[in-house]
Structure 1
């Protein structure tokens, strides 16, 4: 798979995260068909210039914002998530669990 294709797939996976929901970098990579490529997903987002991309919906696997606390990116991501109704407490998203798969997002967790 070419780098361009990988980038496009990651960006499509980010665009598919619904408003008020979040996903980890690893989950974004997995949804893009690139399991184990969380760092690639993070790099693609860090280099992205599309102002319409909902990059703020992507978090670390533990539900925390990846930017250093107090940084401009940290404040902007917190603000954008809160504007979508997501609770952010001390840099960690509360009450919203990132779905492990698209199926879980639609149908809920497996029993």
Structure 2
């Protein structure tokens, strides 16, 4: 049985795939770009259907990795981001001024047949 992915989740996944290695986006940032809530972005990341979506690059607006109920993914997310060159401070936070992705450019929106938010 194949899994159907909603158009909103497809948009979220495409945006997350655009975040370069060594940078992060926030749930709120992705939500604003897709026209949804940060929580919906979190739900989408939790059920991402393939391994080619770099879920580790999405963190919360405080620059922190959100705690997961299974305890596994947050340590795995930390390891993956460290391997990509993302730096954490002593409190486990990422400096968003340094590492936050600035978002897609006009070419990206056009190539993906999407409209940038106003």
Bigger shift: residues 43-52 or 20-29: 43-52
SS in 2 for 1:102: coil
After superposition, the C-alpha distances for 1:42-92 in whole angstroms (9 at most, x for unaligned) are 001011131121000000011100025xx2111100100011011123431
Greater C-alpha Rg: 2
SS in 1 for 2:6: helix
Unaligned runs of 5+ in 2: 106-118
Q: Distance in 2 between matches of 1:80 and 1:61?
A: 19
Mark the CA change 1:4 to 1:73 in structure 2 (over 3 Å): closer, same or farther.
same
How many pairs align? 99
Which of 1 and 2 has higher RCO (CA within 8 Å, sep 6+)?
2
Matched, 1:63 2:70: no
TM-score (norm 1): 0.76
User: Quick check: which one's strand share is greater?
Assistant: 1
Partner of 2:49: 49
Unaligned runs of 5+ in 1: 104-111
Give the C-alpha shift of residue 100 in structure 1. 5.2
